[in-house]
Amino acid sequence: MNRKDFLSTVVPVAVVATSFTKKNPFGKFDTLKKIPSYLKKGDLIGICCPSGHITMEECEAAINKMKEWGFEIRVGNTVGVTDFTFAGSDAERAKDMQQMLDNPEVKAIMLGRGGYGAVRMIDKIDFSKFVKNPKWIIGFSDATVFHCHINDHFGIATVHSKMCNSFPDDFSTATQTQIDSIDSIRQCLVGEKIKYERLPIVENRYGEGIGELVGGNLSIIQMLDGSVSDLDTEGKILFIEDVGEYAYKIDGMLWNLKRGRKLDRLKGLIIGAFSIKPDDPGEEFGKTIYDMVMEKVQEYHYPVCFNFPVGHVKENYALKCGMRHRLSVKKEGTVLECIE
């Protein structure tokens, strides 16, 4: 990024930050429309790639399924573009995302895939039109950058869910949980009631909490610390997931959350899938995800639920970030329900 680009991108972000982040005493963004319009048949969903690259072919299953749901699809310029691991240069990815955000015909934006790259382009994005006309942004993993940034700045709801690359190619051979996970995206987008029920797990801590749901990938949440996209968790229900990290790294990130006061004022904590990388021989960490989480939150009293179906797994249900939820963790089971 040269200096000219830098200046031209900093200005709009600074303007947006000052004009739209003023919270009223109740922490609400009362001047803004907080929930994007739900989608109707015939509405347009855009696909773009602010992070890693994806081929057109890899998007086809998602495109077909979303058409089957009755939506039209617009494929962004970054789909099929490869710049090493990225779907184009930072400027190209920012431009594609900007066009999708600004185009009033596009009612939702599904990201092609995660990988890495959102943090390299997000400060180039001007959210002013998006704030006036919010639309659903859909994705997970690296898309956590958008969920946190948008929640923090604008309080606009987003959908944390599977993206184009995680739609099964052949629905006839997909498992029921895969099919249900994909269908939960549709349910979120059309405004159907969202309520997930889970069987009890002995490691859960019982209780009930009501709050705005926020969260995503743990590595990304830590990576946003101290930045303009830093996630505020106070009074909220936090969900976290991660993939392919060593146990000691997960432990370090959980300490970062705790020491950064992101765990002490929660209304509930949801632990999604943690696919932990096996310890190297002789470096056995000796702690499970249950141990690591509970030792950080033992002095707090909110409900904690483990193995929630969110993360880099086939069973990854759509969650509406930024919207009020009730989390009920009981010995009969766990219920997470969107209540607005």
Beta carbon nearer to other proteins, 124 or 186: 124
**Separation in Å, CA 74 to CA 47, 108, 208, 257:** 6, 10, 41, 38
**Separation in Å, CA 132 to CA 102, 103, 128, 315:** 10, 12, 7, 34
Closest CA relative to residue 58, chosen from 163, 165, 174:
165
d(CA 212, CA 156): 11
Strands 333-338 and 195-198 turn out to be antiparallel
* In the complex, minimum distance from the CB of residue 263 to other proteins, in angstroms, rounded to a whole number: 12
* In the complex, minimum distance from the CB of residue 252 to other proteins, in angstroms, rounded to a whole number: 6
Beta carbon nearer to other proteins, 128 or 227: 227
Closest CA relative to residue 241, chosen from 317, 187, 302, 171:
317
Strands 72-75 and 44-48 turn out to be parallel
Beta carbon nearer to other proteins, 122 or 164: 122
Beta carbon nearer to other proteins, 235 or 252: 252
Beta carbon nearer to other proteins, 157 or 266: 266
d(CA 87, CA 248): 31
3-state secondary structure of 236: strand
Q: Given CA atoms 160, 309, 194, 69 in this order, what sign does their dihedral have?
A: positive
* In the complex, minimum distance from the CB of residue 143 to other proteins, in angstroms, rounded to a whole number: 14
* In the complex, minimum distance from the CB of residue 91 to other proteins, in angstroms, rounded to a whole number: 13
Give the H or E element holding residue 253: helix 247-259
Tell which phi-psi region holds residue 115, choosing left (phi > 0), alpha (psi between -120 and 50) or beta: left
Beta carbon nearer to other proteins, 145 or 189: 145
* In the complex, minimum distance from the CB of residue 164 to other proteins, in angstroms, rounded to a whole number: 17
* In the complex, minimum distance from the CB of residue 119 to other proteins, in angstroms, rounded to a whole number: 5
Token reading at 77: 């310029």
Beta carbon nearer to other proteins, 287 or 314: 287
Instruction: Please list, residue by residue across 116-142, b when 16 or more beta carbons sit within 10 angstroms of its beta carbon and e when fewer do.
Output: ebbbbbbbbbbbeebbeebbbbbbbbb
* In the complex, minimum distance from the CB of residue 165 to other proteins, in angstroms, rounded to a whole number: 14
Beta carbon nearer to other proteins, 81 or 329: 81
In the complex, the residues that contact other proteins under the rule CB under 8 A are 1-3, 6, 53, 83-85, 116, 119-120, 123, 222-230, 248, 251-253, 255-256, 259-262, 279, 283-287
3-state secondary structure of 52: strand
* In the complex, minimum distance from the CB of residue 87 to other proteins, in angstroms, rounded to a whole number: 11
